[in-house]
Structure 1
Amino acid sequence: MHPTFLRHAAALALAATGAAIGAPALAADVNIYSSRQPALIQPLLDAFTKETGLSTATIFIEKGLEERVKAEGANSPADVILTVDIGRLYAAKQAGILQPLADAVIERDIPATFRDKAGEWSGVTARARVVYASAERVGDEPITYESLADPRWKGRICIRSGQHQYNVALIAAFLAHHGEEKTKTWLTGLRDNLATAPEGGDRDQARNIASGQCDIAIGNTYYVGLMQTNEKEPQQKEWAKAIKVVMPAFETGGTHVNISGMGLAKNAPNRDNAVKLMEFLTTDEAQRIYAETNYEYPLKPGVALSPAVKAFGELKPDTLSLDDIAAQRSKASALIDEVRFDEGPQS
């Protein structure tokens, strides 16, 4: 039987049993625990195997990844942790399931802003938290994150739950820039500018703009690419046509970005092979594949953007360290509840 078929069959079987607690005996050269859907990372793993001859196996764990690895302890087969959002990476570090890695290749290829200061995680690709604006009802004026609380947007903004990890990260970045008092005032103003109470996901906000429910929304860039190419649900292409991407910025910085990232598992049984995979993920080829597959931005400088991502407009990322953002997440979450953000407008 062909080795590629065996690898794919193993990955699917492991993904299907990912919810079961225990430490499965994995036979691959590199074992990956991932909160990203297997289909999103399989092209990368195929390229890695083709280049190195090393096999991979993936367990998909959407929720509870940190708890599972911690429960498995020294018997865990996990070599590499792949996840999305600085919050998930920070949680993995806080759970003690990662180990520091000082690696010259990763440090050369990935800017320090997108790496843990202690070396326990590194970004792989980036996505920007931007404004979806009605192509018909919103002009070309620049928008800052701070201006989203301006009364001119009253009743015109849609957003998913403030407690979703993507919004918590954005609000944590606002805290890092402006401090607690100003953030609370801004968050209250943004809440009262909402057209309705937060609901749904980022794509639903584009739908709401298309239907006229609101004029602008906050969403991640990659969802636009996913909508533009969605053959299974062609109505999403219409939602994408109804919006344009506006790159907002902080008044004291750039556009907020978040990352997909990786970390070396604390008890990695195949450490050397795991490091080879992590180094591969920073190569030009892997950065291109990962970014194009997911409509994200390569983190390695000099790697060309896909045409779809380039069409979003020029991205000038905020230079605020993701470490600094992660440190503000708990306070951000508390403020979201304090102003009762998810209840929607109150004035």
Structure 2
Amino acid sequence: MRIVVTGGHGFVGSALTSELLRRGRFRGEAVDSIVLLDKVAPPGAFDGVPLIHTIRGELVDTLPAAFAEPVDAVAHLAAAVSAECERDFDLGMRANLASTLAVLDAARTQRAQGGPLATVVFSSSVAVYGSDPAVPLPPVVSETTLPTPQSSYGTQKLACEQVLADFTRKGFVDGRVVRLMTVAVRPGKPNAAASAFVSGIIREPLAGVEAPCPVGRDVQLAIASPRRTVAGILRIAEVERGDGPGQLSGRLPVNLPALTVTVGEMVDALRAVAGDAVADRVIHSPDPAIEAIVRSWPARFDNARARALGLEPDLDVADVIRHYLDDHGITTPRTQ
């Protein structure tokens, strides 16, 4: 089983790769090779792991080498994120739409030349949704809700979903779409996503650093921990297609299970888990542009489709924070 992960050295890509290595199997078969495609790779990342091969460069340029041998599955995670796509339209079109088309064309060519039908799992986003004046969002969103994105990023993700569905209909690939919630808590430095503050208001205070919060306490978010996110991607990648119980039916995307919280509830949970001194490092710093983007995203989801596939949301925000502390060996006065 040979698996390609685009954006393989990013946070989700690295977590997914680590989980694949831990399991050692995919769809009941031994994982023989994992190819990570990324522009950069941190020094030492997966060095010495026999199954791992990294190809560095722009995604489109690395695909010929990745598909030089048969590819059984692709986890397509590489993307430009929301805020940078708003600032640089051409970047978003190139990094999100054009790169996805290149991945699909490579998989289609492999199949046309007698190679395996590649499973392509595409990481989409809840940013495909938005409240349009003619079609306002319902209070609770499901996969059957009409997507009307209100950002370039969301529009690009939606376009990729539709092209992938058509490639699947034509038999070129076995395409599966996973719509990710805001993943929290991410380690490392903040990125250019409009949602970057969601991890920042937990991560930075725990590291002794003040964290600006660009939105109000009342803003609602749909979040998922890294653990639940990786489990969801792999479940959708591996699940059998069909109309029976526990099978993936049709070509509809799957919204990963969402834990709905307000920003205020996140800060309050941080206070309960780590104490006042930590929580007081969250500083309200309004940014109307960021708040407008974030408020356009839905926060309440019908998780029935994911639940039918065995996926559940995180228990609560405190549980998400404790997972972060455990995963990264962080202690606070209240956890020592």
Report the TM-score, using the length of structure 2 for normalisation. Answer: 0.33
Report the TM-score, using the length of structure 1 for normalisation. Answer: 0.32
